[in-house]
Amino acid sequence: MITALRHFLVDSWLGRVIALLVFASFIVLGGTFFSIGGGGIGLSGDVVVQIGSHKVTPIEMQQAIQRQIAYAIQQNGGSPEILKAPQARGELGHTALRSLILTQEGEVAGRRNGLNPSDDTIRSAVFSMPIFQDPTGKFDPQKMEAVLKGNQLDHQSLVNETRSMLYAAATMYSFGQGLVAPNAQVDWMVNFFSHGRVVDMIRLPFSLGEVATQPTAEQLKRYYQNHLWQFRVPEYRHARLVVITAGSVAKTISVSDDDLKAAFAQKMTDPAQAARYNTPELRTVEVLAVTDKALALQIATAWKKGATWDALQKQHPSAIPASLNDARIADFPDPTLGKAVFATEAGAVSDPIQTAAGWSVVHVISVKPAHHANLADMKEGLREDIANARAIPLLQERVRILEEEVAKSATLEQIPADIGAFPLAGTMDERGNIPSGEPAPLPGDAALREALLQQVFSQKKDEPPHIVTQPDGSAFAVLVDNIVPAHQGSYEEMGDKVKEAWLDDARKHAMEQRATSLYQHAKTDGLRRAVDGQGEASLLQKDEHFPRLQQRQDVPALILRAAMEQKEGETVMLQEGDAYWLVNVTGSYEESPSFTTTLRQNITSQLAEAYRSDVRETLGMSYTRSAPPRHFNAALFDDINNRVFSSVSGRFGQ
């Protein structure tokens, strides 16, 4: 029960990733590994973990992580943005490891209980996989060869993965299929998530506080003496750096036109890849379905005159609403309805359409034209993909060359440019800011920038540079050639900053007094009356809706929490960032019938799947008591995970 609620209520990117991923999901993806598959990316033949007699190899672990990443990207609509989450690397890697262990545990349990899929069973399973079938539904051996080749798999790998899938289906995934979510629980959750809050709120920036007079010299000196810590000058260091990453190495790799043509052809012959780049015309629509033609005509007439979809649903509760975003013509269950939708222009409402189930009226909100990929449009992306893929195995050798060059160059001024290392120099403080206060243009991701700063501020002045390597294979060398110690800035040196700090404090104090006055008034008469006729009236945001399910991202978390947790009629005053906020909950609202219908369907299916996952995971964990995982090599696992994510980051330029 707790796990089921956690699966549903935790609104995070991880909620879109299925923990127990088997070969079936990989096959369905049909090679959508975005050029991150294949090869051993320089890994040794050690063992990551052992389950029973099976030893999980680095290649096997690598492929499991790649499958998990590919599935996560696919579940996120094909966008790699999901991988930018700070916890993505650890969570996806450990999810892949857990999946691999539990799948192997299922196989061990199956063998222990006498299960042994025959060759005919394996063959039938392979022949029934949709990714290997032609448009008529028949097994196509040429299509199978293309998919295997595209994912750098051989026939034995396919047999092994299919066998594991069958074991997992028999020992874990077939259990819990009949579980359903209790109606009482679904009803409570639907009611909770379908009612949002209506809020009046106002943001009062400190900067708008009115200061009547300018400070005197005595006031500024006193302020300076009382706030010395605000006027300390941090330690600054001037450093020369040379950095090499997979991305910088990729920039030195040439890709021929023949390579580009071959990569383009491979993508276009792979159905799953081609579907990513070639899209048919898509339409976003609202539909109201009824059984009576006269009623359909009445709805169409009102809709064309400007009535909204939500208003029509309330006026005609017997009408069945449906909405589709970016729908293809095949997404419509009734062919007649699909043809009518795609014959209606964007922004228009159709005449009543007769379908097999009755009558429908359609409002086409928007149209996305079809797109067909061509080599010219994809050339630069393909070039980057190929170069990044080739850079990974080259990185270690280039780092070795850089290490030799650094040993010969005490000033880091004679590093060859053709190895992919790039130099930079500048002055910065320990937070990575240059003297003007702006961030220093350090390269790489957050982890690399942090490592560079740490090295600059831990290395002694004029200490000979040396190579520092990172978990993802990147490396750098640092030479610190000047240090200006931290010191207390004098009043004369800090004069302008002292005055601005005094004025900032005065503005903040003035705004605090003003916000408090409005708050006291709002507690008794409401926020609208408190600001009515006042200078702040233009800042008031009225009747703001705060849904429970899709929480707003345009307000700070503290304000969001106040909007959701306050009682109706209450006003609260909060300080957030550089402003005071007044938040007044005025009421609640109910989501549209179509939203509520979709919400109920999603809650019902997600809760049921969460319960089923609980059963499978409990069963899988019970198998570990008979065959506990052994000899887990955490260092090797971390190395594999970092290398795979480095490859992915290079592919997507992250």
Question: What would the two tokens of residue 62 be?
Answer: 């690598």
Instruction: Please say if the pLDDT value at position 44 is more than 70.
Output: no
Q: Is residue 499 part of a domain?
A: yes
pLDDT class for 117, splitting at 50, 70, 90?
confident
Same domain, 507 and 545: yes
Least reliable range by pLDDT among 48-57, 165-174, 186-195, 494-503: 165-174
Q: What's the DSSP call for residue 139?
A: B
Same domain, 124 and 72: yes
Same domain, 27 and 174: yes
Residue 474 confidence (pLDDT) = 93
- Length of the chain equals 654
Which of 541, 573, 590 marks a domain boundary? 590
Q: Is residue 524 part of a domain?
A: yes
Residue 355 burial (C-beta neighbours within 10 Å; 0-12, 13-18, 19+): middle
Residue 136 confidence (pLDDT) = 78
What is the torsional sign of CA 138, 143, 144, 147? negative
- Selected residue with higher pLDDT from 274 and 589: 589
Instruction: State the CATH number of the domain containing residue 70.
Output: 1.10.4030.10
pLDDT in tens, 610-638: 888 888 778 878 888 888 888 889 889 98
Same domain, 336 and 356: yes
Same domain, 467 and 558: no
What is the torsional sign of CA 302, 304, 305, 308? positive
**What is the C-alpha to C-alpha distance for residues 379 and 425, in angstroms, rounded to an integer?**
34
Residue at 188: amino acid letter? W
Phi, psi of 242 (to 5 degrees): -135, 130
Which of 453, 485, 517 marks a domain boundary? 485
| Angle, helices 2-9/593-626, rounded to nearest 10 degrees | 130
Residue 550 confidence (pLDDT) = 81
Instruction: Please say if the pLDDT value at position 40 is more than 70.
Output: no
CA 94 vs CA 68, 266, 443, 633: distances in Å = 10, 31, 28, 13
Q: Is residue 310 part of a domain?
A: yes
Residue 214 confidence (pLDDT) = 93
Q: Please, are residues 243 and 452 in contact by the beta-carbon 8 Å criterion?
A: yes
Instruction: State the CATH number of the domain containing residue 440.
Output: 3.10.50
Coil, strand or helix at 19 = coil
Same domain, 448 and 348: no
pLDDT in tens, 497-531: 999 999 999 999 999 999 999 999 999 999 999 99
Instruction: Please say if the pLDDT value at position 374 is more than 80.
Output: yes
CA 223 vs CA 210, 231, 240, 494: distances in Å = 19, 11, 39, 12
pLDDT class for 76, splitting at 50, 70, 90?
low
Contacts with 290 (C-beta within 8 Å, 6 or more apart), sequence order:
296, 299, 316, 318, 319, 320, 358, 359, 360
Which of 331, 353, 368 marks a domain boundary? 368
* Mean confidence (pLDDT) of the chain: 85
Query: 329: domain range?
Result: 279-368
Q: Is residue 648 part of a domain?
A: yes
Residue 225 confidence (pLDDT) = 95
**What is the C-alpha to C-alpha distance for residues 624 and 639, in angstroms, rounded to an integer?**
25
Question: What would the two tokens of residue 332 be?
Answer: 């419509």
Same domain, 435 and 331: no
Q: Is residue 65 part of a domain?
A: yes
Q: Is residue 3 part of a domain?
A: no
Same domain, 553 and 639: no
- Selected residue with higher pLDDT from 557 and 149: 557
Alpha helices in 474-574 (DSSP H): 495-525, 527-531, 557-565
Instruction: Please say if the pLDDT value at position 190 is more than 60.
Output: yes
pLDDT class for 218, splitting at 50, 70, 90?
very high
Same domain, 286 and 326: yes
Q: What's the DSSP call for residue 187?
A: H
**What is the C-alpha to C-alpha distance for residues 566 and 569, in angstroms, rounded to an integer?**
8
Phi, psi of 199 (to 5 degrees): -135, 140
**What is the C-alpha to C-alpha distance for residues 185 and 191, in angstroms, rounded to an integer?**
10
Q: Is residue 346 part of a domain?
A: yes
CA 346 vs CA 282, 435, 524, 594: distances in Å = 11, 54, 49, 21
- Arithmetic mean of pLDDT, 168-185: 80
CA atoms in the 13 A half-sphere facing the CB of 145: 3
Residue 6 confidence (pLDDT) = 30
Same domain, 219 and 105: no
Same domain, 218 and 295: no
Domain count, the chain: 4
Same domain, 28 and 173: yes
Instruction: Please say if the pLDDT value at position 42 is more than 50.
Output: no
Q: Is residue 608 part of a domain?
A: no
Residue 296 confidence (pLDDT) = 93
The H helix count followed by the E strand count for the chain is 22, 16
